[in-house]
């Protein structure tokens, strides 16, 4: 019997991952670390899972805690660590604008606490750590699954603290880990469902609010790749690799092998919502300065930290990941194939309607 300890539940990614893991293994038991403030949301989601798979009722339990606290803030008497055979660490501060202090506490110290907990689990067969492709920082050119420290700096504290978290996992002694580096996660490729409109959705929100013919900035050359992946691909890949012994000790790029470029995505977004705009060139420096001005920010709807990604040219090589996932019949769909579903969900759901969905 496998017993998996997971963080990040009942978040949007964590909830979908739990569903997929239960679907793949009808004997799996899951212990979810849940903060007290998220208990109602966790109970609601578990109820939905039980309605789909009745056996979940006896196979899932919650334990209250916090990854930033010593011993994860748990009452250790309520958990037999020797029963834990796997750990899936998803909980993190997923925010390009995260302050360094908060990023250090959640992403770095939180991961250190998870590694310390993992060392106590004597029957552990895998620590699955969810990182990000953007640990690549300022590196330009190709960044492969085998790459990590290439002397890069970082565009923001999110990248820096996620890099530091991955380093903690990599340097852990004797732990059987696997690391997953997703690109920018967007909605479900079939339903378009997402938890919130951030990342590329900022541009979509702006375009949707502006009238036809309104000025829309062209930042940089437009040649930078935007590595978008649908949430179902990321979740299915992580669930499959979790159950694959060959994944131990490896890093996986859950990225699009043929990503669209900034200029291409802007054009596709505009066409998808039936709009056209007056394009004008703008340097990254001026764009950042403008986005710090409240009236401008209220129109263009994006944090200034996002500007760096419009001009940063990096390609995430993922051939080894694709090779292993091929055995599981999983591959990243083309963006143009699922864009209509993203747009359909976007048009049907306002930002306010998404506020109750946890990431």
Give pLDDT tens digits for 127-183. Answer: 999 999 999 999 999 999 999 999 999 999 999 999 999 999 999 999 999 999 999
359 pLDDT higher than 70: no
Which string of DSSP letters, residue by residue, matches 274-295? Answer: T---EEEEE-HHHHHHHHTSHH
Q: Which tens digits make up the pLDDT trace of 207-224?
A: 999 999 998 888 999 999
DSSP state, residue 304:
G
With a pLDDT cut of 90, the percent of the chain lying above it is: 87
What digits encode the pLDDT tens for the residues 187-197?
999 999 999 99
Q: Would you call 329 helix, strand, or coil by DSSP?
A: coil
CA distance 10 to 28: 18
pLDDT at res. 355: 53
Please calculate the CA angle 316-165-95 and round it to the nearest 5 degrees: 70
Averaged pLDDT for residues 347-355: 78
Q: Which DSSP state fits 6? A: E
Whether the pLDDT of residue 357 is over 70: the answer is: no
Look-up: residue for tokens 């569903």?
A: 19
Domain 3-187+228-256+315-333 coded CATH 3.40.50.720: yes
Report the pLDDT averaged over residues 73-80.
Answer: 87
The predicted model scores a pTM of 0.96
């Amino acid at each position: 019997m496998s017993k998996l300890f997971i963080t990040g539940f009942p978040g949007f990614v964590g909830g979908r991952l739990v569903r997929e893991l239960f679907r793949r293994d009808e004997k799996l038991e899951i212990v979810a670390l849940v903060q007290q403030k998220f208990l109602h949301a966790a109970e609601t989601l578990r109820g939905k899972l039980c309605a789909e798979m009745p056996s979940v009722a006896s196979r899932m339990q919650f334990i209250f805690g916090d990854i930033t606290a010593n011993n994860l803030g748990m009452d250790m008497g309520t958990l037999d660590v020797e029963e834990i055979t796997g750990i899936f660490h998803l909980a993190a501060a997923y925010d390009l604008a995260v302050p360094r202090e908060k990023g250090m506490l959640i992403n770095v110290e939180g991961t250190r606490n998870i590694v310390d907990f993992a060392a106590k689990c004597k029957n552990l067969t895998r620590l699955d750590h969810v990182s990000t492709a953007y640990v690549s920082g300022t590196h330009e050119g190709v960044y492969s699954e085998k790459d990590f420290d290439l002397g890069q700096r970082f565009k923001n504290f999110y990248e820096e603290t996620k890099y530091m978290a991955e380093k903690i996992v990599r340097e852990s002694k004797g732990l059987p880990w696997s690391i997953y580096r997703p690109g920018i996660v967007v909605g479900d490729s079939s339903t378009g469902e997402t938890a919130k409109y951030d990342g590329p959705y900022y541009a979509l929100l702006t375009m949707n609010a502006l009238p036809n013919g309104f000025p829309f900035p062209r930042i940089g050359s437009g040649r930078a790749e935007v590595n978008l992946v649908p949430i179902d691909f990321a979740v299915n890949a992580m669930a499959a690799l979790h159950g694959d012994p060959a994944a131990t000790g490896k890093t996986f790029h859950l990225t699009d092998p043929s990503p669209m470029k900034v200029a291409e995505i802007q054009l596709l977004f505009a066409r998808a919502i039936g709009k056209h705009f007056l394009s004008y060139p703008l340097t990254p420096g001026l764009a950042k300065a403008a986005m710090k001005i409240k009236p401008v920010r209220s129109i263009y709807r994006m944090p200034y930290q996002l500007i760096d990604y419009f001009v940063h040219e990096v390609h995430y090589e993922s051939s080894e990941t694709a090779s292993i996932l091929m055995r599981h019949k999983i591959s990243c769909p083309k963006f143009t194939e699922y864009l209509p579903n993203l747009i359909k969900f976007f048009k049907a759901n306002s930002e306010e309607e998404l506020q109750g969905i946890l990431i």
